[in-house]
Amino acid sequence: MPTHSHKTMAKQSTTISIQKRWPLMILLCIALSTAIAFFIGNNSCNSSNFNSPIHDFQSQSTSVETEESPLSFMKSKLVLLVSHELSLSGGPLLLMELAFLLRAVRTRVVWVTNQKPTESDEVIFSLEQKMMERGVEVLSARGQEAVDTALKSDLVILNTAVAGKWLDAVLKENVPRVLPKVLWWIHEMRGHYFKLEYVKHLPFVAGAMIDSHTTADYWKNRTRERLGIKMPATYVVHLGNSKDLMEVAEDSVARRVLREHIRESLGVRKDDLLFAIINSVSRGKGQDLFLKSFYEALQLIEEKKLRMPSVHAVVVGSDMSAQTKFETELRNFVAEKKIQDIVHFVNKTLNVAPYLASIDVLVQNSQARGECFGRITIEAMAFQLPVLVSLFPFSFP
């Protein structure tokens, strides 16, 4: 299990000195969980870590002690972040967290999003606002300014394999000048990413950063065997939990207040047993199997006349605007089995801490091939929750 994830970048923000401000945290958590519900498009690798809270560095940046930060060597450097898309899914959110960590040590950070829908998008708009408020410069992915920034940058981070398409499309003849300063951050391991179209420049970049040893091995094998190319220097950096989440996880008063608040809002009593699945609702995440098993467990409890507390299930990550067909199936199942009173659906949220504080067991049931190691697993571990996992063999770190 990824117990060494403490050494990650997210954790390095510990030098940001803020005092224990749990009442504020609670307010923030509650406000976020109940008021701000974002809806996100379904995309690759949108493992549960889409839920990770975005750091609120704005109010903290004045107290940053840059000289103590392990990232302080990045002060005044220019970093270009190339995101394949902008949504509340795992990849872009991790990159945003990195952007804010870099901003906290006064790195100049420029962000471009390679794939954007043509019509205006509420989520993209609010995420871009968030970044700009924190001093991240948001540029169009195509255009001379992006090219100039890439040429001037000290470091260019390409986020996920698909972002590779940006290189040729935008930089054109400048590609070879930029490659030596590219760090390619790869999260996914799906078959269709092992395509030269995406990754033909991989051997020539400065380095690849991958979330787990298994994924790194898989990339090494696949690029060699399928594409006949060699991986560059590869660094395994495990995902870590955000500072905001850890603060709630380590504050027993905050946890208790959140637990009571969320349970009350769901209609779950203090001693009831609450199982949760926290992922964007989609077939690959296996919410259907979760609910089926939950129902079977109920039948078993009844048949065997087991004496145990009432059980409830909560599905956090509902999105009727995206996965309508699948979610309708889930809701129909619940209605058909007449378990509406004990199965709760909660919309997608930026902040999972309140739910982790309120549940008793997390179920991580990703089924799709190439699913990444979702951050929700280690987030739940920070809350000392038992986690029931069914992971595809290759997803394990």
Ligand X SMILES: *[C@@H]1O[C@H](CO)[C@@H](O)[C@H](O)[C@H]1NC(C)=O
Least CB distance from residue 224 to ligand X, whole Å?
A: 9
Residue in the structure block whose two tokens are 């001093």: 135
Rank residues 38 and 295 by Cβ distance to ligand X and give the closer one: 38
Q: Does 396 bind ligand X (CB under 6 A)?
A: no
- Separation of first and last alpha carbons in the chain: 7
CA 279 to chain centre: 10
Rank residues 160 and 215 by Cβ distance to ligand X and give the closer one: 215
Rank residues 346 and 382 by Cβ distance to ligand X and give the closer one: 346
Rank residues 127 and 189 by Cβ distance to ligand X and give the closer one: 189
Residues in the chain: 397
Q: Which residues contact 73 (CB under 8 A, 6 or more apart)?
A: none
One-letter amino acid at 296 equals E
Residue range at the interface with ligand X (CB under 6 A); choices 20-28, 96-104, 211-219, 252-260: 211-219
Of 320, 340, 369, 386, the one binding ligand X by CB under 6 A:
320
**What is the layout of strands, in order, in the sheet containing 182-186?**
137-139, 108-115, 78-85, 155-159, 182-186, 207-210, 234-236
Least CB distance from residue 321 to ligand X, whole Å?
A: 5
Q: Does 37 bind ligand X (CB under 6 A)?
A: yes
CA of 3: how far to CAs of 97, 276, 359, 378, 392, in Å? 20, 22, 21, 8, 20
Rank residues 107 and 215 by Cβ distance to ligand X and give the closer one: 215
- Whether 39 contacts 275, CB under 8 Å: no
Least CB distance from residue 222 to ligand X, whole Å?
A: 7
333: closest CA among 379, 397, 396, 287? 287
Least CB distance from residue 34 to ligand X, whole Å?
A: 7
Residue range at the interface with ligand X (CB under 6 A); choices 99-107, 163-171, 210-218, 276-284: 210-218
Of 38, 218, 333, 392, the one binding ligand X by CB under 6 A:
218
Rank residues 204 and 218 by Cβ distance to ligand X and give the closer one: 218
Q: Which of residues 321-350 bind ligand X (CB under 6 A)?
A: 321, 347
Least CB distance from residue 220 to ligand X, whole Å?
A: 7
Of 14, 59, 221, 340, the one binding ligand X by CB under 6 A:
221
The pair of three-digit structure tokens given for residue 95, joined into one six-digit string: 């990159």
**What is the layout of strands, in order, in the sheet containing 311-318?**
343-347, 311-318, 273-278, 361-364, 387-389
Least CB distance from residue 36 to ligand X, whole Å?
A: 9
The pair of three-digit structure tokens given for residue 71, joined into one six-digit string: 């990232």
- Whether 17 contacts 65, CB under 8 Å: yes
Rank residues 217 and 288 by Cβ distance to ligand X and give the closer one: 217
- Whether 253 contacts 22, CB under 8 Å: yes
Collapsing DSSP states into helix, strand and coil, what is residue 389?
A: strand
Q: Does 265 bind ligand X (CB under 6 A)?
A: no
- Whether 88 contacts 38, CB under 8 Å: yes
Rank residues 18 and 335 by Cβ distance to ligand X and give the closer one: 335
Least CB distance from residue 333 to ligand X, whole Å?
A: 18
Question: How many residues make contact with ligand X (CB under 6 A)?
Answer: 8
Q: What is the DSSP string of 255-303?
A: HHHHHHHHHHHHT--TTSEEEEEES-SSGGGTHHHHHHHHHHHHHHHHH
Rank residues 321 and 332 by Cβ distance to ligand X and give the closer one: 321
Rank residues 100 and 345 by Cβ distance to ligand X and give the closer one: 345
Of 115, 214, 293, 367, the one binding ligand X by CB under 6 A:
214
41: closest CA among 90, 6, 3, 95? 90
Binding site residues, ligand X, CB under 6 A: 37, 214, 217-218, 221, 320-321, 347
